[in-house]
Chains A and B, each alone.
Chain A
């Protein structure tokens, strides 16, 4: 078939099979109950004549302005840093081990709750911070508010932009760079005129992505925002502190607006982006420049970023292990003992509940994502394109809005789920299935069409082809998805803050409680436990799946 053309009619035998219906109906029901119903609930709660009154209130206007200012600043800074970092990793001549180390360090924040960096900022630059108080001798000085949030969010979110730009740089045809040099450009000129120019759409996507991450972050504004209120912290305070569900809902809907606009912009840019990535992955890596004028500044900057990440990361472990931060730096396990074993073993229960619910959510989420991916790509059930749209909708919905929706919708009949484990798992699923399904669809698209056709020509049915050819080839992606889901589940705060209950506790929520009562040592030790769990699971996943697959596929 020629590219750009499609068959007018579906093959005559292609009527939806019973299997597809069996799959499609429950998936649609799931979407209706756990995505649309909560969102509609928030919408209905927010509706009313006082809508504009709530928005016009000074604190609302300030929160909106602060959210946009912080998001824009962080997005631009993080993307700039990410481009330079990605350029260093892909285009600068450095020992291979250094490249790998830089890449690895950049991955750390993506498996860490962003507010871990916030806790570290308290430890470093707070009123009794290591830098501000102990070293510089200030008292009562801190970096809370806008500057602290910018630092922390750039550190926490630049890796997402980096990963995006890195993959674009790797996919870029290296001959373009080479041509740029052959026709007389200096390395710096080529970087500006060719590499950066081709990467502009990717940079735009990165800006949008980081903007969304910044505006939907709840933990850091809560921990270190101080008087600098943004929409997420304003919503939290309004709902939990003032018990004003209506005002909270209005603000949550307002928060949705920039997210939807950015998603639309991202799609628009992505649609025009195609020329930046040239077909298949480049057959050979790009040449790396050794020009000192590029190499030295970029290497220094990247090492500095990496060092910041490491320092902020390990600060939390140190903070968890000393007696009284800023006063008495004696090593102790007191904080761990207290959070784990005091108050009816609250911390221990949080660890167990978090891992248990997170794991169930991760496995079930991957399963649903697999079924959904199959439905979207293979089956011929009517409405499957709409299904893809709806299932990926929560990607654009801030966690705090989804969580608010759950707490409103399922706190009353007919579906009274508040306080159950089910509501927590359900919100995990809603927030991870979009990614699982996208990953499955992307992996299926990687399986060349001719392989499926070859299987069909060999006499296999559609189901046989999926089971025997497609599934084995996408299995690594599915398994990696489970690890990803688990990590996301146990590190989210904004999504679960409104659905945790005394019966089911989660580490992230427990950390917030510690910070709110001023027990930084306790927060740091819970954060350390969270990090340890994340690392164990990711390492286990790597050992179990990745290595085996790498070996088998001879890659």
Chain B
């Protein structure tokens, strides 16, 4: 590692992270080789908060552990600030990692836990004192410095883990499902806390979670993973409204994927038939030709159960789920089940199971996908 880079890495700041053809092959118990991560390439621009999101077993944690240095890639390379780091030992990468279990040292106080990364680098006591106090102040832990981890609540342990990851001003901050041990209310709070800090420090962050709500609410960018590969990378809104595949559409948020047939391509729009009606849908770049079977994605909130207007359909309510802010309906339209959400206070007369209801699909929100 060049001295100049080492200096700049130590100082902290924003750095770009690039993964190139990253592959990790494990040997399964039965002797078969399994590619947990399969030729994965990804660029995380400096200062970006990127979330690796996918179901369990998709390779997101293995990817994170390779970035941290806890796993060595079978092939491929990792660049941090333009520097190949795949074969640098983890203790010389200056990367911060927040563990799922927090991994706080039970025999050390909060202060010593946070001071540990500085102590092993044999920093001067005064420097340690100053840096630890600073980061403890930042995370509002000053009152707890002499406590042991088992004397802290889950949220406090979480903040200590974050403080320990931040104290060396790492070039990169990594999170391995850090909120899964917190209760729902605390999770929302810590979520915004992490995001605020990351923005304030301008530090590049990679976050792993299987929880798409968490991913949506925290990230600049989300990389959806599937079987060791990246399915799609994009901003939360892009993934939500313009998913590239049915997989992404169903993984991010809830989606109605309706079978449709292309009638005609009309410039920047495509005319498709859904439930026997014609709709003009924006052309999303998917090359389609007339009479082709495609899928149309429509989010539950883009379906209306009020009458009036063109293209009205009729359906039967199969299931009603009241969740306070919203109500969810499953409506049977010509044998297909449609998921619909309405605001919880939008009806005076409740729509009960078994009732007939008009159904309108919002063509402007329809998104064309390959079948």
Contact = CB atoms under 8 A, between A and B. Distances in A.
A455 interface: yes
Contacts of B104: 454
Contact of A8 (B33, B105, B116, B117): B33
Interface string B66-93: 0011111010000000000001011110
A456 B65 CA distance: 12
Given A2-B57, A459-B120, A459-B121, A454 B65 contact: no
B107 interface: yes
B120 A458 contact: yes
Contacts of A1: 26, 36, 61-62, 65, 71
B105 A5 contact: no
B172 to A, nearest CB: 11
A332 interface: no
Interface string A1-35: 11011111101110000000000000000000000
A8 B36 CA distance: 12
A468 B120 contact: yes
A453 B29 CA distance: 24
A456 B91 contact: yes
Interface in A493-534: none
Contact of B97 (A2, A457, A464, A472): A457
A473 B57 CA distance: 32
B95 A9 contact: no
Interface residues of A, number: 31
A111 interface: no
A468 B57 CA distance: 34
A76 to B, nearest CB: 36
A460 B122 CA distance: 10
Contact of A6 (B27, B100, B148, B168): B27
Nearest to B168: A459
A8 B71 CA distance: 11
Nearest to B32: A5
A460 B72 contact: no
Contact of A450 (B34, B91, B101, B107): B101
B91 A4 contact: no
Contacts of B107: 472-473, 552-553
Contacts of A460: 91, 116-117, 120
How many residues of B sit at the interface, in one of the four size bands? 35 or more
Contacts of B90: 453, 456-457
A48 interface: no
A264 interface: no
A473 B69 CA distance: 25
Contact of B164 (A7, A12, A458): A458
22 contacts: A2-B34, A5-B27, A5-B29, A7-B27, A7-B72, A8-B26, A9-B72, A11-B89, A12-B72, A13-B89, A448-B101, A450-B99, A451-B103, A453-B70, A456-B90, A457-B70, A457-B90, A458-B168, A459-B121, A464-B120, A553-B107, A554-B150
B105 to A, nearest CB: 6
A165 B254 CA distance: 51
Contacts of A473: 106-107
B26 A458 contact: no
A450 B69 CA distance: 13
Contacts of A553: 106-107, 150
A461 interface: yes
Contacts of B217: none
Contacts of B40: none
B103 A450 contact: yes
B94 A459 contact: yes
A460 B168 CA distance: 13
B288 interface: no
User: 9 shortest A-B CB distances, which residue pairs?
Assistant: A458-B117, A450-B103, A454-B103, A5-B26, A460-B120, A4-B29, A11-B72, A457-B97, A450-B99
A451 B91 contact: no
Nearest to A454: B103
B27 A451 contact: no
B151 interface: yes
Interface string A455-480: 11111110010001100110000000
B28 interface: yes
A451 B105 contact: yes
Contact of A12 (B36, B62, B87): B87
B363 interface: no
A456 B27 contact: no
Contacts of B68: 453, 457
B72 A461 contact: no
A226 B168 CA distance: 73
